[in-house]
Structure 1
């Protein structure tokens, strides 16, 4: 057990959620509970966790969709799926969608704890490093490495925006697409423009290109 490790529990069954919180709390873990997919997505994007404990069958947004959205935004926190869907095809789908482990319900408590310990032992060096013209972005530390060995720390939202653009460098994203993908809790598309401005200010005015009448695209680092 890693003392004080932070675990996001995503489970809509109240009794099971309470049992998991009590169990993990007694083991020394710090837990946060989300009872639907929308809340899980919000927590995963705005807070830092060591493991995601994720149910598949969730209200609002299903568990696999939550995981895919988090992965798409550069969140690489190890995920253990708990699900009553237990046949091999279900397990394969869960692993292919970005989970590190999959445990069918009902599960053995000792096995659950052992699998959590195994995930927590994984080295953080397994983080993604996204390359872009003139630099790179480490999605784990949220640091952008620029020319001349300059390293810039980005906020959670700035990092999510850069990661989303960098994963599809040739694609032009409409503001609405970026709003849904990176800022799911915001209603005003102006938040996209605001964070594009922040990125340009931190890593270069040409880091994000404006495609007039369409939206934004990954650019390159302006060394000037």
Structure 2
């Protein structure tokens, strides 16, 4: 474990948390600040309230490598629901349009997913943390405003379809940083001609970090502080993981 900061007694490193549904990434950071007894905590990659899974918290001196850790590729398990588009591109938004879902074959579904592999561009959703004139887009969206967003380059290195029970499709996607899985679901629905939205999402990997060592939110709230310190990935271990 990294040596504790003499001022706080809190070691530096990364605490992996398995985020529960119906809470924001900021909520998890607030709980961690109380649990670990330090204000110097950030997170690597926002997870929407609907989403669960791997949230990486950088603690003390690890905040200096936050951007480095956020730049790595990700892996998600998701479910999209065909036949309905929503204002947020996920199940928490207002339904904007509903269409009949054709009797798509597995080959039809696979062909739509295949259109979004390799390098391509995504238009970020309005419900995102990207800023326009210093204001996050999601705040503008809450006011009913919509602004022009420039397409952003993203990459999907691999996808897997694990279940098709129309209108639902379960999938796994391996993608670059800055990738919006909700937009991926929306765009696949558009390609199929019936629309779609993201109905479930779980992040299972970020760079070299997986859920195996993650603590639950309940453990974060109620666990012993020293045990939480022991659960952290030290800066030395991170250097070894990255081959530094």
- Could you say whether these structures have the same fold, taking a TM-score greater than 0.5 normalized by the shorter chain as the test? no
Structure with the higher strand share, 1 or 2: 2
Higher helix share: 1
| TM-score normalised over the length of structure 2 | 0.23
